[in-house]
Structure formats: C-alpha cells, structure tokens
C-alpha cells in the first residue's frame, strides 16, 4: 500500500488579488450577458464596466491600508509584488477604465452601434496593465504587456465602419509586434547575462558584481532593447511615429484610454525595472532616458 503524498501549493492571499479578480469577473459577466442577451440596453454595458472599475478602486483603498507597514506583499512565487506604488498604478488604470466606459456609452449611442466587446477589452487591457505595474519578474511583465497590447490592437480597430480605424488597428498591431519582439529579446539577453528574470535576483546579481565582463555587453544591449519596447508604448521619440495615425483612426474614447492606461502601465513598468533591478547600473541607462525625455 502506497502512502498518499500531499501536494501543497503556494499560499495565495486572494484579497491582494481582489482588484484583478474584480476586473476579471466584470469581463466575464459582460461576455456572458453580451452573448445571451443581445438586446440588452446599450447603456448597461458601460454601467457594469464602470461599476466594476469603481469596485476595484474600493478594494485598492482597503489594500492600501493593509500595506501600512510599507512592506510589499509578494505573491505567486514572487511573480507579483503589491506595494503602495502598485496600488497607486492600479487605481490610475481603473480610473481610466471608469472614464472610458462612461464616454464609450455615449459614443455607441451616437454611432448607433452595439459594442459590449469594447467594455470587455477595456477590462482585459486593465488586467494586463495592472500585471505590468505589479510585476516582479520580466516574463510576467511581458505577459502583462501582451495582454494589454492585444486588447488595445482590437480597440483601435473597433469601428468597423471607418477605414481609418481598420488602418489604425493594423498599423498598431504590426509596429506593436516589432516592439514586443525587441522587449522579449532584451529579456533573453538580460537572462543570459544574469541567469535570472526575477527583478530582485537581478538586482542582487548586479550589486554583487557577479556579471562577468564578457556578459556586460549582453546586459547593456538587453537594457537597451527593454527601453525600446517600453519607449514604443509611451510614444517616446523616435518611437512615436505610430501615434498620429492610430490616435486619429481609433474611436475617441479608445484614444483617451490608450493615452492614459497604456502609458501609465508602461511608465510604471519602467520605474519598476529601473528601481528594482537596474539601480546599480543607473549610470548606464540614465543618459539614454535623459535623451529620450528631452527629445520627446
């Protein structure tokens, strides 16, 4: 008779994930009602989406109080770290969802269109953005980036009656694919130089000078490629060429959401990487950021 072995999984504090779970639940509800009740009043989609974002904001305030000691709460094997910075970024993204949901309802009425999928994509993009804000691992950060990006690609092309909207979605998708490739290649090079993708372990490796000189070039090129990927998302010079066509072609509420939630997530991800992982190499990446900031 064989003794049964007990498998013990990682302990997950579900309350810490409450903003993410709230947005996920709202997206599932909208998809369910959108498929089962096609004649549901248009305004209710926006109300449900806005209420979901408002509920997530309320959970963020409770989460802020739980972090009063200033110590971040790392979860899921140190893949995510919720601290005051992550909570503030989550609140900002949820506010963008709330405002975009309210303005999109009026837009759909004016355009005489049904668009429950727009609100689902808002919530999906917000989930990806929050993962980017709270990410403690480069691979998880990339997953959040792609979740955000794929939702924004579809949102940009959501107006099927306008050729400009379809063109905007196609251009954004092609150029976004290139930027994601640069970002992923940068992750691979940094992993090759440090043997880690966790931001905390990368910081420990760099601060203890365990990077061999032959790997220093890998590290610098990897940092540069990460900057290229994130600079595209924030439309920093010279990676801003996509913004005029995409912002003009996308529906106005979508443009406002892209310019707020997308850039918030990208800026927060850059701050998370630079402060947590690359603080000891600040002299390497800070001049590049200065140049991008001045030119932009």
Stretch 202-218: mean pLDDT = 72
pLDDT of residue 99: 93
Burial label, 162 (beta-carbon count in 10 A; 0-12, 13-18, 19+): middle
Stretch 134-147: mean pLDDT = 92
SS3 assignment, position 75: strand
Is the whole-model pTM more than 0.95?
no
Considering the domain boundaries, does residue 77 fall inside one? yes
Stretch 243-258: mean pLDDT = 85
Considering the domain boundaries, does residue 8 fall inside one? no
Question: What angle, 0 to 180 degrees and rounded to 10, lies between the N-to-C axes of helices 116-134 and 84-111?
Answer: 160
pLDDT of residue 7: 58
Segment (H or E) for 74: strand 73-75
Longest CA pairwise span in the chain (Å): 72
Considering the domain boundaries, does residue 12 fall inside one? no
* Percentage of the chain exceeding pLDDT 90: 26
Least confident of 1-5, 179-183, 255-259: 1-5
What residue numbers bound the domain in which 217 lies? 18-295
Residue 62 CB: number of other CB atoms within 10 A?
12
Total number of domains constituting the chain? 1
Measured distance CA(236)–CA(229) in Å, rounded: 10
pLDDT of residue 123: 94
Considering the domain boundaries, does residue 11 fall inside one? no
Measured distance CA(296)–CA(288) in Å, rounded: 12
Considering the domain boundaries, does residue 4 fall inside one? no
Considering the domain boundaries, does residue 9 fall inside one? no
pLDDT of residue 150: 92
Stretch 110-116: mean pLDDT = 72
Segment (H or E) for 82: strand 80-82
Report yes or no: 183 and 230 within 8 Å, Cβ to Cβ. Answer: yes
Cα torsion 195, 200, 202, 207: sign = negative
Question: Average pLDDT over the chain, rounded to whole?
Answer: 83
Report pLDDT digits (tens) over 145-203.
999 999 999 988 887 777 788 888 888 888 888 889 999 999 999 888 888 888 888 88
pLDDT of residue 2: 45
Name the band, by pLDDT with cuts 50, 70 and 90, for residue 42. low
Measured distance CA(219)–CA(190) in Å, rounded: 5
Considering the domain boundaries, does residue 289 fall inside one? yes
Least confident of 53-62, 130-139, 206-215, 277-286: 206-215
Considering the domain boundaries, does residue 3 fall inside one? no
Name the band, by pLDDT with cuts 50, 70 and 90, for residue 271. confident
């Amino acid at each position: 008779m064989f003794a049964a072995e007990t498998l013990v999984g990682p302990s997950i504090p579900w309350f810490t994930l409450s903003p993410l779970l709230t947005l996920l639940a709202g997206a599932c509800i909208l998809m369910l009602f959108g498929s089962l009740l096609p004649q549901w009043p248009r305004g209710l989609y926006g109300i449900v989406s806005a209420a979901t974002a408002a509920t997530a904001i309320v959970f963020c305030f409770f989460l802020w109080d739980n972090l009063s000691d200033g110590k971040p709460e790392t979860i899921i094997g140190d893949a995510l770290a919720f601290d005051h910075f992550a909570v503030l970024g989550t609140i900002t993204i949820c506010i963008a969802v709330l405002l975009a949901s309210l303005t999109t309802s009026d837009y759909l009425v004016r355009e005489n269109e049904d668009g429950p999928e727009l609100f689902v994509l808002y919530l999906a993009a917000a989930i990806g953005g929050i993962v980017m804000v709270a990410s403690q691992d480069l691979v998880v950060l990339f997953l959040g980036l792609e979740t955000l990006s794929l939702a924004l690609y579809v949102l940009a092309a959501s107006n099927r009656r306008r050729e400009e909207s379809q063109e905007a979605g196609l251009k954004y998708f092609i150029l976004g694919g290139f930027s994601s490739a640069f970002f992923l290649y940068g992750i691979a090079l940094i992993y090759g130089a440090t043997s880690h993708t966790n931001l905390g372990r990368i910081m420990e490796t760099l601060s203890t000078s365990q990077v061999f000189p032959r790997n220093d070039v890998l590290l610098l090129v990897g940092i540069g490629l990460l900057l290229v990927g994130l600079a595209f998302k924030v439309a920093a010079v010279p990676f801003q060429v996509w913004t005029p066509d995409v912002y003009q072609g996308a529906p106005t509420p979508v443009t406002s959401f892209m310019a707020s939630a997308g850039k918030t997530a990208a800026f927060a991800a850059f701050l998370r990487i630079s402060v947590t992982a690359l603080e000891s190499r600040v002299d390497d990446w800070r001049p590049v950021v200065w140049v991008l900031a001045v030119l932009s």
